Amino acid sequence: MCPLNLIILNNLSQMRTFAHISTRKVRIGLCVLITFLVISPSFGQNNKSAPPSDSLWFIELPVMVVTATKSAIELRDVPIPTKVILGEQIRLRGGLRLSDLLSEETGFLQIHYFGSGIQLQGFDSEYTLILIDGQPVIGRNGGTLDLDRFSVSNIERVEIVQGPSSSLYGSEALAGVINLRTRSATKPLAGFASHRIQSNGTRNSNVAIESIIKGLGSRFNYDRYSSDGYDLSPDVIGLTGPSFVTHTSTARFDDTFGEKVTASLGARLAIQNQSNVIGFDQSGVELSFEERFRQKDWSLSPSFVWKFSPKHRFTFRGHLTSFDSHSELDDTTGHSVVQFNQGYQKAEVQHDLILPRGLIVNTGAGLIGEFVEADRISGGARTNQTTFAFSQQQWFPWNWLQIITSGRLDRHSDFGIHFSPKAAVMYKSAGSLRVRGSIGSGFKAPSFQQLYMDFTNAVAGYTVVGASDVAGALQNLESLGQIQAYLTDPDTFTDILPETSVAYNLSADFDLTSRIQVHISAFRNNVRDLIETLPVAAKPNGQQVFTYVNLSRIYTQGLSTEITAQPFRSIHISMGYQFLSAKDRRVLEDIDQGIVFGRQNGRDYRLSRSDYGGLFNRSKHSGTIQVAYTSPDKHTNIQIRGTIRSRYGYGDLNGNSILDAASEYVKGYLILNTSFTRDVTSRITLQAGVNNLMGYTSPQFVPSLSGRQLFAGLSISTN
C-alpha cells in the first residue's frame, strides 16, 4: 500500500512543478498512468478481501441512462458509450456552473469564445448538442452556447454521449450530446438553502423547495450568481472579466394519473446582466465605452408518457423556448443597441414497442419551428421549419451481444432532406469486459447567420449575404450598380447543405481488478461540407460580396483512456488522458502540392506535413486527475482535481493562415482545484476550497481564467 501511496504523492508533487513545461508534463502524466497499469494488479490482490465499494464516488448501479437511446437503459448495458456525472459528485466538487463541471472531465477542453464552450473529440463547441431533460437549449453566440449560463444547483445528473447522435437528436449532435437532468421532488416537503462567498466578490445563493401532495411532485429552485469581475491587465481600460449578476429560476412538476399516465412539466427562466467599460488607445487618445449586456432565456417543456400496455408506450413531448440578448454601447458620440431574439418550438411523439425475444423499437416524429429576429438578418426576422422522423431498433440476440440501429430524417424548409444513420454494437463478456463500437453520421444545420445574414460593413464596405438569399441579394445589388464583376458564376450556386460527419468510435471497459476500472476509447470523425465564407462578387468600391458555402473538410481523431481506482476504501483516484489530432484536409493537400510556405527572418520556405500543427485551439495531449478522500463516517470529503493540457495553436502570425510557427502556440498549463466538504450535521454542510490553486493566469491568451479563487459556503436542508 505504502509504495503506491508514495508514488501518487511523488507524481502529484512532480506535476505541480511541471505547470509550465508543456512537453514534459505529458510524459509525466503518462508515467502516472503507466505506473498504475504496472503496479495495480498486484495491488488489487492485496485488497481482495475488501468489500465491494459503496463510496459515493463509484456510480451506484444500476444507473439508468436515457440520452444514448431515448429510452432508459442501465448504464453498463447501453451499447453507446455514456458518461454520467452524478449529483453527489457535482456537490462534492463544489463547482458552480456547468462549465466548471465539464472542464474537469477527460477529453472536455474548455474554450472561451463568446462564452465558455466545451471542445469535445476535437470539435468546436457548436458541434455539441446541449439538452435539459432531453430538450435542446438555444442561444448560441459565435457558435458557442455559454455553459456559464447553467447553474449546477438543480442538476441531478449529467449524461454525456460522445460521438454523433444525429440519428436520434438531429442537428448539432456531431461531437456529442450533453443532457442535464434536473431534480424532481422526492420528499413530501423539503427545503434547501445555500450561500457561498468566493474571491473577486463572487457570490452564489441557492434556495430550493419541494413537495409531493397527492401524487403531484413540485420542485422550485432559485439560484443567484454574481461577481464583481476581475482585472488581469490593470493598465488596460476595463476589467478582463466583467461584473455580472445571473438569476436562474426553475420549476418542475411531476404527476401520475392512474397506473398508465405520467405527466411532467419543466420550466426555466434565466436572466444575466453584465456590464463593463471597454477602451483602447487610438493615436494617443484614450477612447472608452460603457457596455451593458443582458441576456434572457426561458423554456417550458411538458411531457406525457402513456403506458398503453406492457408492449406499447407512447411519449408526447413539447418544448417552447426563447433566447434574447440585448447589448448597449455608450460612448462620447452616442448610444448603440444590438438586439438578437431567437425562438424555438417543438412537438414530438415517440412510440416504444417492447417485444419479447429481445427487440425494442423506438419510433418518433415531430415538428420544429424556429424564429430569429436581429439587426443583421435579412428582412429583420425570419422563420424556418423542420419536420423529422426517427426510428431505432435495439436488438438483444444473445446475452453477450447487443445491436442498435437507428436513423433519422430531417426535412428543413431551407436545405431540404437530410438522413442520419447510426449503428452500434456491444459485446459483453461473462466478466466485466464491454467492447462497444459504432459508425454513425452527424450533422449541423447552417446557422441563422449562414442562412439569412444581410450585412454591409459601413467602414470597410464589404457585404455578407446568407446562403438562402444570395441569388436575390446579388440581383438586387446588381440593379443598384453595386456589382463590378462576379467572381463566381451566380448560376453555379448550389443550395447550402448541412455540415456532416461520419464517425467511428470504438471503446473497451473492464475491471482490471475489483478496485481498478479501465476505459479505453478511440475515435475518428471525417467531417465534410464545413461552411465558410467565399467572395462571390466584386463591388465598385474595390471590396467584395461574400456568402456562405460548403467548403472545408477536416478530420479529428484521438485516443483516450480513463482509469478509476480505489486503493483504499476511503481513497478514490481517477485519471484520464486524451491524445488528439485534428487537421484540415485542404491544408494537407496544399502542403502536398507544395503551395504552402512559412517565413522566418524574411525568408520563405516550403512547409511539409510535419510543420503543420493542425486546427487551432487543439491540444495534442490533455489529461485529468482527481484524488478524493472520504472519511469512514462519510461526513468529510477532501479532493484535489487537476486538468492539464499541452500547447495549442492560438492564431496565425506569419500570414499563411495555418498553425506552423512556434510563436503561434500558447504554452500548455495545469489547473488544480481543491475542495473540502464537511457534513456538520445531517442538515448542515460546510464547504471550502481553492480553485486554480497555483494561480495560473494568461491575460493575453486565456483571459477567461481569473487566477486563484478561494471559496467557502454553507448549506442547510430541512431533510
Partner 1 sequence: MSKSLFSSTLLLGLALLVAACDSSSNSDNSDPVVAQRVTELPADPYTGFAPSGQPITAGIYTFFSLRTNSIVAATDSASNAWDVAFKGTSILVNGGISGPGNGAAQVLNDVFSDIKIAPASGWAQDSVTGFAIPTGSGNGWYNYEPSTFTITPIPGRVILIRTADNRYAKISILSYYKGQPAIPDRTSESRFLTFDFVFQPDGTLSFE
Q: Are 188 and 210 in contact (CB under 8 A)?
A: no
Q: Which is nearer to partner 1, 60 or 532 (CB)?
A: 532
Whole-angstrom distance, CA of residue 102 vs CA of residue 644: 14
Query: Using CB under 8 A, which of 309, 333, 479, 494 touches partner 1?
Result: 333
Q: Total residues at the site for partner 1 (CB under 8 A)?
A: 33
Nearest to 418 by CA among 174, 629, 206, 199: 174
Least distance CB 584 / partner 1 (angstroms): 14
Q: Is 453 in the site for partner 1 (CB under 8 A)?
A: no
Stretch that binds partner 1, among 164-172, 362-370, 446-454, 600-608 (CB under 8 A): 600-608
- Give the count of beta carbons closer than 10 Å to the beta carbon of residue 37: 14
Q: Is 605 in the site for partner 1 (CB under 8 A)?
A: yes
Q: Which three cell numbers stand for residue 388?
A: 423529422
Q: Is 9 in the site for partner 1 (CB under 8 A)?
A: no
Q: Is 114 in the site for partner 1 (CB under 8 A)?
A: no
Total residue count of the chain as it appears in this document: 719
CA distances from 524 to 40, 119, 615 (A): 30, 15, 15
Binding string, residues 514-553; x marks residues near partner 1 by CB under 8 A: ---------------------x--x---x-x---------
Q: Which is nearer to partner 1, 101 or 537 (CB)?
A: 537
Q: Is 662 in the site for partner 1 (CB under 8 A)?
A: no
Least distance CB 538 / partner 1 (angstroms): 6
Q: Is 3 in the site for partner 1 (CB under 8 A)?
A: no
Least distance CB 587 / partner 1 (angstroms): 12
Least distance CB 656 / partner 1 (angstroms): 5
Q: Is 310 exposed, middle or buried (0-12, 13-18, 19+ CB in 10 A)?
A: exposed
Site for partner 1 in 272-291 (CB under 8 A): 280-283, 287
Query: Using CB under 8 A, which of 61, 355, 417, 459 touches partner 1?
Result: 459
Query: Using CB under 8 A, which of 217, 598, 649, 689 touches partner 1?
Result: 598
CA distances from 467 to 207, 418, 419 (A): 46, 17, 21
Q: Is 481 in the site for partner 1 (CB under 8 A)?
A: no
Q: Is 480 in the site for partner 1 (CB under 8 A)?
A: no
Q: Is 455 in the site for partner 1 (CB under 8 A)?
A: no
Bridge partners, residue 578, by sequence: 560, 622
Q: Which is nearer to partner 1, 233 or 657 (CB)?
A: 657
Least distance CB 281 / partner 1 (angstroms): 6
Type of residue found at 55: S
Q: Are 164 and 405 in contact (CB under 8 A)?
A: no
Q: Helix, strand or coil for residue 22? A: helix
Bridge partners, residue 638, by sequence: 629, 676
Q: Helix, strand or coil for residue 443? A: strand
Least distance CB 548 / partner 1 (angstroms): 15
The alpha carbon of residue 549 and the mean position of all alpha carbons in its chain are separated, in whole angstroms, by: 26
DSSP per position, 533-597: EEEEEE-TTS-EEEEEEEEEEEEEEEEEEEEEEEEETTEEEEEEEEEEEEEEHHHHHHHHHT--E
Least distance CB 594 / partner 1 (angstroms): 8
Q: Is 492 in the site for partner 1 (CB under 8 A)?
A: no
Query: Using CB under 8 A, which of 606, 609, 634, 683 touches partner 1?
Result: 606
Please report, as ranges, the residues that interact with partner 1 according to CB under 8 A.
280-283, 287, 333, 459, 484-485, 487, 535, 538, 542, 544, 594-599, 602-606, 651-657, 663
